[in-house]
């Protein structure tokens, strides 16, 4: 079995770094929707602000596609505005 190439090593290292970032994004989204379900709109608003910053950073670094980041943030905004109307 041949030794792993430099590209293989880079890919593994990058995957580990991106996995941590994606996990953080998922946790932020999950916490946002949990706060919304609990009726804590102020906490949800804070998490939404953190989420926007994290999604934009991940998109800028190439961890996720920029359109995905925009879509996710838009959905958080829509959920938050829907709760404000009720």
Is residue 1 over pLDDT 90?
no
Question: Helices marked H in the chain — which ranges?
Answer: 6-38, 41-61, 66-85
pLDDT at 83 over 80: no
Question: Is 7 within a domain?
Answer: no
pLDDT of residue 26: 97
pLDDT tens-digit series, residues 30-80: 999 999 999 999 999 999 999 999 999 999 999 999 999 999 999 999 999
56 falls within a domain:
yes
List the domain range (segments joined by +) for residue 49.
23-85
Looking at residue 36, its pLDDT comes to 95
Structural domains of the chain, count: 1
CATH of the domain at 42: 1.20.58.110
36 to 31, 42, 66: CA distances (angstroms): 9, 9, 25
Whether the predicted pLDDT of 85 surpasses 80: no
Residue 31 lies in a domain: yes
In a domain? residue 2: no
């Amino acid at each position: 079995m041949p030794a792993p190439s430099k590209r293989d090593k880079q890919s593994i290292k990058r995957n580990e770094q991106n996995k941590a970032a994606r996990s953080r994004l998922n946790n932020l989204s999950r916490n946002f929707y949990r706060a919304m379900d609990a009726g804590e709109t102020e906490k949800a608003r804070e998490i939404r602000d953190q989420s926007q910053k994290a999604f934009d950073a991940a998109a800028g670094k190439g961890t996720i596609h920029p359109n995905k980041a925009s879509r996710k943030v838009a959905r958080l905004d829509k959920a938050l505005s829907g709760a404000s109307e009720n």
